[in-house]
Amino acid sequence: MRTQVAIVGGGPAGLLLSQLLAQSGIDSVVLESRPKEYAEGRVRASVLEPATVRSLRDAGVGGRLGQEGIVLDSLQLRFDGEDHRIPIKELTGGGNITIYDQQEVVKDLIRARQAAGGRIEFGSEAVGILNITSERPMVRYRRAGEVRELECDVVAGCDGYWGISRSAIPSDACNVYRRDYPFRWLGILSARADRDVLTYASDERGFLLWGLRDAKLTRAYLQWPPNESAEAWSDKRLWNEIGMRLGRPDIGDSPQAGPIVERATTTLHSFVIEPMQHGRLFLVGDSAHTMPPTAAKGMNLAVADARLLAEALEVWLRLGRTELVEAYSSTCLRRAWLAEHISWWMTWLLHRSGDEFDHQLQRAQLRQITESGVAARHFAEWYLGPDCSS
């Protein structure tokens, strides 16, 4: 099989790239190792920046997002037992955040690609990326027990942190940066929806992110003890803990405290590889950079990468101009390192480390954000990302 662009990975980055390339008349094939049902059911919360919403609309997949996405014009910081509203829309001249889960974006993109006759090869695991410094790279993949080959002009590695794309770049041709954080999260899904504001709580008991939801489910993320099992606490005990961190001790007895249908722990780390391209292989999204989800930058960065790569490939493959593909890595990394910084800063700002000096610095910065209009505006613009107006 042959195509112009072989896309390894059928998450938001790979699917959006395929959709944007198709709008420019460029052929692609998406290789996704998992079945379609798994790809569409892989639950991930998403806070979408204005630029991400625009990109999805421009790609022709903004219909359901516009109907079902929850638009918020503010968020809330909670510390020292008090809630502080950050009016994002007012501070940024019209910017909003949109809550719309990643799996819903994936569903929209799959439907759009299949409706247009796009090729998504589910159950196709990439096992090798070859000849990337030649004019005819190739992806070797396994499907239904048979090893097949996909020849192409360009390979886009969109298979995430655990995928094989990154390893195709020789170790002596790149620099790898990593930071591990001494924090762990417990994420829960509750069967009841909560219409409260998106809240970041920095409490003596630990960090809490609350208010990620859709029409049926509420998500919460709690700073979690390093050696505690996800199943160690009952639903009632978890709701009581959430209530303590929110300053709402009665929440465990309220209708919002529905059954917890899913719980999972995760550690926090940052990772960046540079450059994000080698020969005719281009890394996109989590293949090139990951960060703590505290500032909700992961999917927004993946969408930005896909948009930039689609523009660069259109100019190269249709017009023969190389300036955008040559600048792809440096352009993406400027944004990625800013997102890494914001994610590191928010993670440090909101988590309890047990260090009292750090705690006092955190309180000083939180007070500055809530008491200074300049600091509040800076925070809001950072949270919304570059080009943050609606």
Q: What is the topology classification, in CATH, of domain 5-46+101-174+275-352?
A: FAD/NAD(P)-binding domain (3.50.50)
Give the residue extent of every domain in the chain. Answer: 5-46+101-174+275-352, 179-267
pLDDT bin (cut points 50, 70, 90) of residue 23 is: very high
pLDDT bin (cut points 50, 70, 90) of residue 193 is: low
Q: Give the tens place of pLDDT for each residue, 280-294.
A: 999 999 999 999 999
- Domain 179-267 in CATH 3.30.9.10? The answer is yes
Q: Do domains 5-46+101-174+275-352 and 179-267 have the same CATH topology?
A: no
pLDDT bin (cut points 50, 70, 90) of residue 251 is: confident
pLDDT bin (cut points 50, 70, 90) of residue 162 is: very high
| Stretch 133-144: mean pLDDT | 96
Q: Give the tens place of pLDDT for each residue, 314-323.
A: 999 999 999 9
Sequence-separated (6 or more) residues with CB below 8 Å from residue 291: 270, 271, 297, 298, 339, 340, 343, 344
Task: Provide the mean pLDDT of the chain.
Answer: 93
In the predicted model, is pLDDT for residue 203 greater than 70?
yes
In the predicted model, is pLDDT for residue 216 greater than 80?
no
Alpha carbon of 254 to those of 35, 234, 365: distances in Å?
38, 16, 33
Token code pair at residue 102: 């990643």
As a whole number of angstroms, the distance between CA 132 and CA 113 comes to 26
pLDDT at position 369 is 97
pLDDT at position 194 is 62
Q: In the chain, pLDDT over 90 holds for what percent of residues? A: 85
pLDDT at position 290 is 97
Q: Give the tens place of pLDDT for each residue, 42-57.
A: 877 789 999 999 999 9
In the predicted model, is pLDDT for residue 301 greater than 90?
yes
